[in-house]
Amino acid sequence: MTTIEIAGIKRRKFKDTMFKYIVYGLTFTCLAVVLIILFYIFQKGIPCLNWSLFSQMPKPVGESGGGVLNAMVGSLMVVSIAALIAIPLGIAVGIFLAEKRGKPAADRVSIAVDVLQGVPSIVVGMVVYVWVVKPLGIFSALSGSIALAIMMLPPVIKNTEETLVLIPNTLKEAALALGASDLKSTMKILLPTGIGGIFSGCMLGIARVAGEVAPLLFTAFGNPYLSFNILKPVNSLPMVIFNYGSSPYEDWHRIAWGGSVILVGFVIILNVIVKFFESRWKVQF
Amino acid sequence: MEGTILRTENLCASFGTNQILKNINIDIPEKKVTAFMGPSGCGKTTFLRCINRMHELNPEATVQGKIRLHYEDVYQMDAMTLRRKVGMVFQRPNPFPTMSIYENVIAGFTLNGLKLKKAEKDAIVEDALRKVALWDEVKDKLNNRATSLSGGQQQRLCLARTVAMKPEVILLDEPTSALDPLSTAKIEDLLYELKGNYTLVIVTHNMQQAARISDMTAFFYLGELLEFDDTKKVFTNPKNEKTQNYITGRFG
């Protein structure tokens, strides 16, 4: 009797250990893939970084040097305007979902947000092309921003909702019991309490769309010159990487690698900022 | 009844099809401590939450009958106005975690959009914190986060936040159930002192607490008000057999 039990325990312990190592192994595999990608990009890209990359415009084929100034300005414009559109809208929808959780209306909106998250970015670009670019008659930074704003909405909405739902209901009740209106208790109590989570949702949304090229093909289109006009086509970093990376010229490849490093660096910095503020703004209940 | 501040007439409350309160008729006296007692699920918290209309925040909740505050039907009043007159302290301390101690005390004013001068605010904060005997403990750290205080201090802060609004009635929903005995004793002392100026209605599981601090005691059982009388009478000579069984510890 005793011997049988001991044998069983050995087997169970063995299985346990195996399971542990499998989980570790798979985790490190994923991590290794990320690290290899980053290493490769930095290895190829960092030698291509120089001041002219940031300060100069692209040069015609055959001339060496040149930079991605117009693409950086374009990307910054398109992504900033997208954020200005998507963040207030997304937070509003997130508040709605958190407040009405469990009601039929909220369920439908929630499914719609999930579907939106799954819509391929190229399709979003197409739709914005038909809705914005065609009526205006011109490719523009604004239409690119609208396409990216649509892409940004789901993460902003979901993060806002999840954050607000986690805030204890007693906090809102405390505000209401003091005679506060729904609006005040949401704006002055719930949103400040959830600011960390909401902020990180917004930043991750920005990080998500910063590297998108598909929705911009039909909308912001690209522009070899520097433009600050939101109603004119602008260039963007992902598009530079796509166009220059697939070109046959060695010089252009260098610019594409440089652009990749800038883009990846931007996303890494965003993530670091998120982690920093998440811990600083963490609220204890 | 003379000196009645709150009166209910055939009050019934439900969540969906589940009736919680059945025909409650009660006259709550002004500037006294009234305790609601009874086993879990008897409806005492629901009753408390009907009084300041927090009950209706649940979408399933319904209410019939009347509650009058000074003869005025609370269901005809604006809920926000009512809640300024009838404050509430909750079971667990729930200070606003993003706000400082100072901001928490003054929160009732800021949340209602009432603009005050700095000096007025300072006076209100000091007065409220003195009333809850917290001033000496926190006067040097008014700008610290409220969540840095201990549980008992937080609960006194929540009481201060309510007192600062100068309500007529303060509802307390088992305010000491999450606190240690020392903090509980402090809160009880406070309630005893506050009753000169405010009408206090307290829900409690703790019979000794009801006996210690209340003037009147109501005994609820399965959604009905079985007994309501002077605390002394309820504890020494209850009319209802169920009340007697409950206070002698035979059930509940």
- Model confidence pLDDT, tens digit, residues B129-144: 999 999 999 999 999 9
Residues of chain B found within 8 Å of residue A192, distances taken between Cβ atoms: 98
Read off the pLDDT band of A266 (50, 70, 90): very high
Residues of chain A found within 8 Å of residue B95, distances taken between Cβ atoms: 174
Residues of chain B found within 8 Å of residue A188, distances taken between Cβ atoms: 110-111
For the segment A40-64, the average pLDDT, to the nearest whole number, is 88
Closest partner residue to B96 among A103, A177, A189, by Cβ? A189
Tell me the per-residue pLDDT of A7-19, one tens digit each, with 9 for 90 and over: 688 888 999 999 9
Interchain pair A178, B96: CB under 8 A: no
Q: Which domain holds residue A28?
A: 2-48
DSSP H helices in A119-140: 121-128, 134-136
Read off the pLDDT band of A5 (50, 70, 90): low
Residue B91: closest CA among chain A residues belongs to which residue?
Answer: A170
Same-domain check for residues A32 and A81 = no
Closest partner residue to A170 among B82, B84, B94, by Cβ? B94
Q: Name the average pLDDT for chain A.
A: 92
Return the percentage of chain A with pLDDT > 90, whole number: 78
Query: Taking 60 as the threshold, does the pLDDT of residue A267 lie above it?
Result: yes
Same-domain check for residues A10 and A137 = no
Question: Is B252 a member of any domain?
Answer: no
Same-domain check for residues A149 and A20 = no
Q: How far apart are CA B87 and CA B194, in angstroms?
A: 13
Closest partner residue to A180 among B98, B112, B145, by Cβ? B112
The pLDDT score that the predictor gives to residue A234 is: 93
Tell me the per-residue pLDDT of B90-139, one tens digit each, with 9 for 90 and over: 999 999 999 999 999 999 999 998 889 999 999 999 999 999 999 999 99
Query: Taking 70 as the threshold, does the pLDDT of residue B2 lie above it?
Result: no
Question: Is A182 a member of any domain?
Answer: yes
Tell me the per-residue pLDDT of A106-138, one tens digit each, with 9 for 90 and over: 999 999 999 999 999 999 999 999 999 999 999
Q: Chain B interface, mutation test: which of A103, A178, A280, most B Cβ atoms within 10 Å?
A: A178
Interchain pair A173, B81: CB under 8 A: no
Question: Is A113 a member of any domain?
Answer: yes
Interchain pair A188, B87: CB under 8 A: no
Closest partner residue to A283 among B54, B83, B97, by Cβ? B97
The pLDDT score that the predictor gives to residue A284 is: 74
The pLDDT score that the predictor gives to residue A2 is: 58
The pLDDT score that the predictor gives to residue A77 is: 96
Read off the pLDDT band of A4 (50, 70, 90): low
Q: State the CATH number of the domain containing residue A257.
A: 1.10.3720.10
Same-domain check for residues A83 and A17 = no
Closest partner residue to A179 among B59, B108, B158, by Cβ? B108
Residues of chain A found within 8 Å of residue B113, distances taken between Cβ atoms: 184
Question: Is B225 a member of any domain?
Answer: yes
Same-domain check for residues A151 and A220 = yes
Q: Which residue has the tokens 């009844």?
A: B1
Interchain pair B94, A184: CB under 8 A: no
For the segment A140-151, the average pLDDT, to the nearest whole number, is 96
Alpha-carbon gap: B23 to the closest alpha carbon of chain A (Å): 25
> Do B30 and B45 meet the contact criterion of CB atoms below 8 Å apart?
no
Residue B220 main-chain phi, psi, to 5 deg: -105, 145
The pLDDT score that the predictor gives to residue A66 is: 83
Rounded to 5°, the CA angle A153-A155-A156 comes to: 65
Same-domain check for residues A241 and A125 = yes
Interchain pair A175, B80: CB under 8 A: no
Tally of CA atoms within 13 A in the half-sphere of B28 that contains its CB: 33
Task: Enumerate residues 6+ apart whose C-beta is below 8 A from A186.
Answer: A95, A99, A172
In angstroms, how far is CA B27 from the centroid of its own chain?
A: 16
Tell me the per-residue pLDDT of B166-210, one tens digit each, with 9 for 90 and over: 999 999 999 999 889 998 998 999 998 898 889 999 999 888 899
Tell me, what's the ipTM? Answer: 0.90
For the segment A70-76, the average pLDDT, to the nearest whole number, is 94
Least reliable range by pLDDT among A198-207, B18-27, B161-170, B239-248: B239-248
For the segment A145-157, the average pLDDT, to the nearest whole number, is 96
The pLDDT score that the predictor gives to residue B213 is: 92
Residues of chain B found within 8 Å of residue A193, distances taken between Cβ atoms: 96-98
Q: Which domain holds residue B12?
A: 4-247
Question: Is A116 a member of any domain?
Answer: yes
Query: Taking 70 as the threshold, does the pLDDT of residue A3 lie above it?
Result: no
Can you tell me whether residue B237 is helix, strand or coil? coil
The pLDDT score that the predictor gives to residue B71 is: 85
What is the total count of domains within chain A?
2
Closest partner residue to A175 among B82, B111, B147, by Cβ? B111
Question: Is A212 a member of any domain?
Answer: yes
Read off the pLDDT band of B252 (50, 70, 90): low
> Do A205 and A152 meet the contact criterion of CB atoms below 8 Å apart?
yes
Closest partner residue to A170 among B52, B90, B145, by Cβ? B90
Same-domain check for residues A140 and A170 = yes
Interface membership of B135 toward A (CB under 8 Å): no
Interchain pair A178, B113: CB under 8 A: no
Q: How many helices (H) and strands (E) does chain A have?
A: 14, 0
Read off the pLDDT band of B40 (50, 70, 90): confident
Same-domain check for residues A167 and A249 = yes
Question: Is B236 a member of any domain?
Answer: yes
Interchain pair B54, A189: CB under 8 A: no
Alpha-carbon gap: A218 to the closest alpha carbon of chain B (Å): 44
For the segment A171-181, the average pLDDT, to the nearest whole number, is 94
Interchain pair A168, B88: CB under 8 A: no
Same-domain check for residues A97 and A126 = yes
Q: How far apart are CA B234 and CA B191, in angstroms?
A: 20
- A29: tokens are 């595999």
Interchain pair B111, A170: CB under 8 A: no
Same-domain check for residues A190 and A83 = yes
Tell me the per-residue pLDDT of A83-98, one tens digit each, with 9 for 90 and over: 999 999 999 999 999 9
Tell me the per-residue pLDDT of B10-19, one tens digit each, with 9 for 90 and over: 999 999 899 9
- B132: tokens are 């809850």
Q: How far apart are CA A229 and CA B202, in angstroms?
A: 65
What is the total count of domains within chain B?
1
Question: Is B198 a member of any domain?
Answer: yes
Alpha-carbon gap: A34 to the closest alpha carbon of chain B (Å): 37
Q: B137-151 burial by CB neighbour count: b if 16+ within 10 A, else e?
A: ebeeebeebbbebee
